[in-house]
Amino acid sequence: MSEQLSFLRPISGTGTDDVVIVGGGLAGLFCALKLAPRPVTVLTAASLGKGASSAWAQAGIAAAVSPGDTVEKHVADTLEAGAGIVDEKIARLMASEAADRISDLLGFGVPFDRDLEGKLAVSREAAHSEKRIVRVRGDMAGRAIMEALITAVRNTSSIRVLEGYAVQEILKQGKSVSGVIARDEAGSGQNKIKLDAKAVVLAAGGVGHLYSVTTNPSEARGSGVGMAARAGAVMADMEFVQFHPTAIDVGKDPSPLATEALRGHGATLHNSSGERFMVALHEDAELAPRDIVARGIFEQVKTGKGAFLDCTKSVGESFADEFPTVHGYCMESGIDPSTELIPVVPAAHYFMGGILTDASGRSTLDGLWACGEVTSTGAHGANRLASNSLLEAVVFAARIAEDISELMPAPKLIPWSTGSLPHDDLEAPEDTEAMTLLRHTMSAEFGVVRDPKGMLEGLKTILDIEEANKLQRFENVLITAKLIAVSALIRKESRGGHFRTDLPDENPEFAHRSYLTLEAANKMALDLVDGSMVEAG
């Protein structure tokens, strides 16, 4: 229970909310809309549309909607990318519900691109055997989807949105989840609100900002994962972080993304000597699986040769029209991508691990559902197939809405009074010194390439930071970092997003998902640090 309950203040309405959704990204908003007209409260740390990775997605949503493509081909590509540990049943239901969810999004007003016959236009990305990425105006899918959903949410009277509230604790009564405590980000951070709820849906996003180079917004720092672990939920596949190969290396935090679709369009990667280094590393060169391209670039950057994306021939003059978002990012930094090379670096981009959930989005705690990047559904295995993330978010958000509706009759009256409480200035708190150290440690020791000595040192640093910082707002973040560290140390092989220099190959003994509770992780962390648990293979 929180140490500062005396600071709790009432927010409009009394009594118990029916459903509280934590997170205003794609998964949270889609779930709220699918639950309508059932009353729902959505809590978001930033104002709607800000602070959510979904809005920054450039590519689109994978869906087998073009002639010649099939659900089975989509499943096969998802299994192949996931490096042997995808839950096939989950991947199949995700792929098979894709077309229906795209049609929901069209219904909410998302302007997906169409061809001359009016059919959905689809394009191809690495590791997809068919063209199946449904997009909006080249690289603007995330922004357009979020704009449409935000408008739909604002026009839905059953959805109450509380902006500026960062949830930091999941409340339980006995073994069941009974609500949340949130901090008022717009105020001093000292004020808190308590919302009791019959159902809590966590859609609090990923972990990218735990790393010093990331494509994720600063709100994506693993708080949701950490608070669920603290409440006792089982976590899965925590060692698997996906690094996007081509973040634009112009010293910005977060790093702007240069979408993979550029390479799908024929852009090539070169080092400062002009060598096209991916050709020697994989038969598909720049379109090799994401982890292989990320390691290829990492090696060039580490050895000082640097890595550069050349779009001058493949996209050239049509850059501003075809990839307006990337064009804008480059021009802001003084690079004209139609005539100049783009410096690139791998960046933490997507988390395959998270809260273990089932096909209905249920966590292992009664009363707690989860969807989006905060979860580990098993759909991505060790390495997510590009553009499956937005798909997973909407598929499981819809399934949660269905599950809650079947399980609990909707209340006859809206159990809260009127109105949302918008704020104008909702910037996330600056990184503290400890957060900067944590991010540096995660990038150095649990990044694209990992080695056992470094990982052990990294774990010690995380435990030291934890010892010295008892602030509750930081506790969830540190828990997530610790779970990643322990999981990485005990997976004695390389697979997908987890690459160890000492064990560079897959080991069939580890061809399974991993599961961890905070209690077990705490014990293992101490054993690893004092040497009683020997981790190196």
Residues that bind ligand SIN (CB under 6 A): 58-59, 259-261, 349-350, 386-387, 389
Task: Select 44 or 58, whichever has its Cβ closest to ligand SIN.
Answer: 58
Task: Select 260 or 403, whichever has its Cβ closest to ligand SIN.
Answer: 260
CB atoms within 10 A of CB 477: 26
Q: How far is the CB of 299 from ligand SIN (least distance, A)?
A: 20
Contact 416, 43 (CB under 8 A): no
Longest dimension (CA), the chain: 69
Q: How far is the CB of 267 from ligand SIN (least distance, A)?
A: 11
Task: Select 35 or 86, whichever has its Cβ closest to ligand SIN.
Answer: 86
Q: Give the three-state DSSP class for 225.
A: helix
Strand partners, 406: none
Q: How far apart are CA 404 and CA 401, in angstroms?
A: 5
Which residue type is seen at 59? Answer: A
The sheet carrying 122-123 orders its strands as: 61-62, 133-134, 122-123
- Report CA 248 to chain centroid distance, whole Å: 19
Q: Give the three-state DSSP class for 400.
A: helix
Q: How far is the CB of 390 from ligand SIN (least distance, A)?
A: 7
Q: How far is the CB of 246 from ligand SIN (least distance, A)?
A: 7
Task: Select 143 or 349, whichever has its Cβ closest to ligand SIN.
Answer: 349
Q: Apex CA 32: angle with CA 29 and CA 38, to 5°?
A: 165
Class of residue 23 by CB neighbours under 10 A (exposed 0-12, middle 13-18, buried 19+): buried
Handedness of CA 200, 206, 209, 211 (dihedral sign): positive
Task: Select 348 or 386, whichever has its Cβ closest to ligand SIN.
Answer: 386
* Phi, psi dihedral angles at 347 (to 5 degrees): -140, 145
Distances in whole angstroms, Cα of residue 523 to Cα of each of 39, 100, 517, 518:
41, 44, 10, 9
Task: Select 386 or 484, whichever has its Cβ closest to ligand SIN.
Answer: 386
Handedness of CA 424, 25, 252, 58 (dihedral sign): negative
Place of tokens 């939920």: 233
* Phi, psi dihedral angles at 458 (to 5 degrees): -60, -45
Task: Select 47 or 53, whichever has its Cβ closest to ligand SIN.
Answer: 53
Q: Is 290 considered catalytic here?
A: yes
Bond prior to 254 in cis (omega within 30° of 0): yes
Q: How far apart are CA 468 and CA 484, in angstroms?
A: 20
Which residue type is seen at 162? Answer: L
Q: How far apart are CA 204 and CA 500, in angstroms?
A: 29
Task: Select 98 or 170, whichever has its Cβ closest to ligand SIN.
Answer: 98
Q: How far apart are CA 132 and CA 424, in angstroms?
A: 39
Nearest to 15 by CA among 36, 35, 41: 41
Which residues, 6 or more positions from 128, have their beta carbon under 8 angstroms from its beta carbon? 62, 77, 385, 386, 387
Q: How far apart are CA 345 and CA 299, in angstroms?
A: 10
Q: Which two tokens stand for residue 130?
A: 């068919």
Q: How far is the CB of 137 from ligand SIN (least distance, A)?
A: 14
Q: E strands along 23-102, which residues?
A: 40-44, 61-62
CB atoms within 10 A of CB 74: 27
Task: Select 53 or 469, whichever has its Cβ closest to ligand SIN.
Answer: 53
Task: Select 140 or 150, whichever has its Cβ closest to ligand SIN.
Answer: 140
The sheet carrying 515-516 orders its strands as: 375-376, 354-356, 235-236, 515-516
Which residue type is seen at 27? Answer: A
Contact 254, 348 (CB under 8 A): no
Looking at 38, 221, 290, 439, which residue is catalytic?
A: 290
Q: Annotated catalytic sites, by residue?
A: 290
